[in-house]
Structure 1
Amino acid sequence: MTQAPPATRSSRRRHDREIVALAVPAFGALVAEPLFVMVDSAIVGHLGTPQLAGLGIAAALLMTAVSVFAFLAYATTAAVARRVGAGDLSAAIRQGMDGIWLALLLGVAVVAVVLPSAPWLVDVFGASDTAAPFAITYLRISSFGIPAMLVVMAATGVLRGLQDTRTPLYVALGGFAANAALNLGLVYGVGLGIAGSAWGTVIAQCSMAAAYLVVVVRGARHHGASLRPDTEGIRASAQAGVPLLIRTLSLRAVLLIATAVAARLSDTSIAAHQIILSLWSLTAFALDAIAIAGQAIIGRYLGAGDPAGARAACRRMVEWGIASGVVLGLLIVLARPLFIPLFTSDPAVKDTLLPALLVVAVSQPIAGVVFVLDGVLMGAGDGPYLAGAMLITLAVFAPIALLVPALGGGLTALWWAMVLMMTVRMATLWLRTRSGRWIVTGATR
């Protein structure tokens, strides 16, 4: 990073309070999201194995379709935070509304694609003849909730940019409770089966979107911001999101390549790999919460024209990322006797899993730095650099990962390749922050 003035104890405490105030609620909201699928799985699982298999396929397709639009939250957070830092709350909310309108338009477009192509998508995913009808039913009904899911993403970005991560937590918890109650009532009470689970989730998602819109509309009226769609603003939001979309797709490609390589190694390896990925996702939520705080805080400092404050906040968040990574790594090592039996009793899977799991534990401090710097550069609106850096990382990782089976390596070797991928990401992000080129002050970048 570029040199920042020596931090005083009071400034460190101020940054710590800001990070905790934003990161802790953000972590709660992030954890609540996958609980939707877990509740659906638990309820549908009692209907039968074909229904559960169909749900698993449809849920994977839905999450893939939605996750590529994560830029709706990231880009909106950065843009709104800059306006907040500049002291223009009306423009901040107006910027957020552009992101929400974009989310709604994209959601409608996705529904138009998913509805007619659901049978083909399920078939491509390899669904069995018994599971396919249930997957198609769930996918088609749940697709009606995609616009609401994308609106929730964008509105979450608005509130994060406004330095509010508590409201998303409350909405996520309310949505989780509503989803559980609706699923139970519609699946078993009304007797709709897997269709009831899909409708329950759609209703819960629409309720969450409505709750967000009430908050945003109230803020818009209070600050005199227009709620009407603005073509230029929507276009600008889309253009700002394109680099982050490229970044997200590149990261998804890394994970897909890793899973494909693990599948080529052996059934034991892919089983162990999936267990590690579940743990990887859990630790990612904790580190991503700090990154979310970074997006909001850095955007606000740059919008306020305070590069020194942005540098100091960046430095402190890197320290938080390293410390969090060390703690998570130790927890993985210490909790492995409790964690592994929850997922498998197969001795072969356990033997394959353990050394790779230790590699993941060692890499957590690196992951901490990566997540934090990723959040910092997102908060700075440095999307084009993030896209290029992730493409470079993919280009380095792909051939090395694909050589693992050819060279006789196992799952542990594959996860060392994942560590290399994270190290390359850390190097590219570190070089950028050191250069200071990400520091562009003002209400817009």
Structure 2
Amino acid sequence: MQQRDREILRLAVPAFLALVAEPLFLLTDAAIVGHLGTAELAGLGIAAVVLQTVVGLCVFLAYGTTAAVARLLGVGDLRRALAQGVDGIWLAVGIGVVATAVGVPLADPLVRAFGAGERVSDFGVTYLQIALLGVTPLLVMLAATGVLRGLQDVRTPLVVAVLGNALNAALNFLLVFGLGPFPALGVAGAALGSVVAQVLCAVALTVVVARGARRHGASLRPDLRGIRAAGRAAVPLLVRTLTLRAALLVTTYAAVLAAARAVEGDEAVTLAANQLAFTIWGFLAFVLDAIAIAAQALTGRSLGAGDLEGTRATTRRMVQWGVGSGVVTGVVLAASSPWLGRLFTPDAAVQAALAGVLLVIAVGQPLAGVVFVLDGVLIGAGDGTYLAWGGVAVLAVYAPAVLAAAVLLPSLLAVWAALAFVFMGARGVVLVHRARTEAWMVTGA
């Protein structure tokens, strides 16, 4: 038990720190832009949902690569593991270029489709058009991080994430408010600073992977057959991720709908509070996902080595860690909810709206811990097809529930209660049911 705990901690602690650092890109943007004004923050919120959807749909570049590389590590074939990793990075480049080329001209209609006011939408379009230029480096970061995690190296992504966030914070402050020869660019400065930091992080991670590939004799050239194979293997995880992102988009639409139907309250206040809630919820999700990252790497490696008993024992222990982590994050969030909003905005109305939502999120954290861990286990096992169909089923349950909450109980609190308990509860049922079977425990490369 102690040895298993040490192995989980060896992977989870650096992954935790790196994952905490990743959402700080948006947290930093939100904290700085929030001091420009409520409309600016609300616009950033809508743009962030679109951007996170584009990038989030491609999270398979990290998850799928981690599982594939870890399996080959368990088999003992490092050259092939790194070759698959390089193919994943090239796939990320191709997807990123296409996403940017398509996304930039569509930024305006995408933001305005949320139905926010003209001023809020203008700020959102400005931020999104610039931020989309960072999609390719973001996807390369995902793929390269997946390779390193599969190789059980979680320290390198941590170092890059910490340095990248420090640079992002400095650039954002400089470009948003201006200093010396640098003009104050406002919302545009926040997006530009993030793009520059993302490019440098992507270069650093790619250099590390390339050095490992050369050392073990893996080619750095794009292998069309390998890239196509990586793309085909990623389709189920893409569907799974698409259902998750669709659920978050429906939640944002429900928040806009609730704000429009509410008898009291300002629409911009509700949307700004919703953006901050999403940012904090995403931050906590990444915290819980640290154990899921360990689950992906350990499950892939142990199944690759044919160790079924070890896989089952590690899964049980990681679920316990997930529950414990959820309890801790929930207690900390509940205790900080009365004042946390002050870090992001001086608007008292936004602070008040946010405080109640944070309490709802806090109560749901232990359930979220179980969901994230089991999701990581099944991803590590390569059980993407089940996760895809399970995601479709969960979305079919959740979408009408959250829209009904927005119409019948038009408040941000009702929308977030649906997310924390209906959405996460349905996911929990789907994942626990699968984890109790042996259908996902397939061994070998």
**How does the TM-score come out when normalised to structure 1?**
0.86
Distance, in Å, in 2 between the alignment partners of 1:78 and 1:329 is 29
Question: Can you list the C-alpha shifts for 1:104-131, whole angstroms capped at 9, x where unaligned?
Answer: 0001111211233344444445576667
Residue type matched to 1:226 in 2?
Answer: S
Q: Cα distance, 1:150 vs. partner?
A: 0.7
In the TM superposition, residue 217 of structure 1 has moved relative to its aligned partner by 0.8
Deviation at 1:263, TM superposition (A): 3.6
1:229 alignment partner, SS class: coil
2:341 and 2:350 in contact (8 A); partners too: no
- 2:219 aligns to what SS in structure 1? coil
Q: Does 1:429 align with 2:431?
A: yes
Identify the range of structure 1 (373-382 vs 121-130) with the bigger mean alpha-carbon deviation. 121-130
Letter in 1 for 2:78: L
Q: Distance in 2 between matches of 1:423 and 1:56?
A: 26
Aligned partner letter, 1:438 = W
How far is 1:189 from its partner?
A: 4.1
Residue of structure 2 equivalent to 1:81: 70
Aligned to 1:288: 289
2: CA distance, partners of 1:365 / 1:402: 25
Letter in 1 for 2:104: L
- Distance 1:126-1:208 versus aligned 2 partners, 3 A rule: same
Partner of 2:444: 442
Over 3 Å counting, the alpha-carbon distance change for 1:171 and 1:264 in structure 2 is: same
1:249 aligned partner: 242
Q: What letter matches 1:432 in structure 2? A: R
Alpha-carbon separation, structure 2, partners of 1:236 and 1:262: 39
Taking the aligned partners of 2:32 and 2:73, their CA distance within structure 1 comes to 43
Report what 1:179 is aligned to.
168
SS in 1 for 2:444: coil
User: Which has the higher mean CA deviation after the structures are superposed, 395-404 or 423-432?
Assistant: 395-404
1:225 aligned onto 2:227: no
* Corresponding position: 1:207 with 2:200: yes
> Structure 2 unaligned runs (5+)?
none
Task: Please name the residue that 1:32 is paired with.
Answer: 21
The count of residues paired between Structure 1 and Structure 2 equals: 431
* Partners of 2:280 and 2:30 in 1: CA distance: 19
The answer to whether residue 190 in structure 2 is matched with residue 188 in structure 1 is no
**1: CA distance, partners of 2:409 / 2:42:** 33
For the 8 Å contact 1:47–1:193, the answer to whether it is kept is no
Between the aligned partners of 1:290 and 1:174, the Cα distance in structure 2 is 23
Go from structure 1 to structure 2 and tell me whether the alpha carbon gap of 1:142 and 1:359 turns closer, same or farther (over 3 Å shift). closer
Find 1:104's aligned residue among 93, 96, 108: 93
1:393 aligned partner: 394
Question: What is the match of residue 319 of structure 2?
Answer: 318
Distance 2:123 2:408 in 1: 41
CA contact (8 A) 2:30 2:276 kept: no
Q: 5+ unaligned residues in a row in structure 1: which ranges?
A: 1-11
Contact 2:12/2:293 (8 A) holds in 1: yes
Output one character per residue of 1:383-427: Cα deviation in whole Å (capped at 9) or x when no partner.
Answer: 111111111111112222333355557655544433132222112
- Map residues 1-400 of structure 1 onto 2, 5 A cutoff: 12-41=1-30, 58-124=47-113, 136=125, 138-184=127-173, 187-194=178-185, 197-265=190-258, 266=262, 268=265, 270=270, 274=275, 276-339=277-340, 350=352, 354=356, 357-400=358-401
Amino acid at match of 1:285: F
Cα 1:118–1:368 change in 2 (3 A) is closer
Whole-Å separation in 2 of the counterparts to 1:48 and 1:329:
29
Q: Distance in 1 between matches of 2:36 and 2:179?
A: 9
Query: Structure 1 vs Structure 2: percent identity of aligned residues?
Result: 54
Contact 2:137 2:202 in 1 (8 A): yes
Is 165-174 or 359-368 further displaced after alignment? 359-368
Whether contact under 8 Å (2:65, 2:147) holds in the other structure is: yes
What is the distance in 2 between the residues matched to 1:20 and 1:85? 19
If the length of structure 2 is used for normalisation, what is the TM-score?
Answer: 0.86
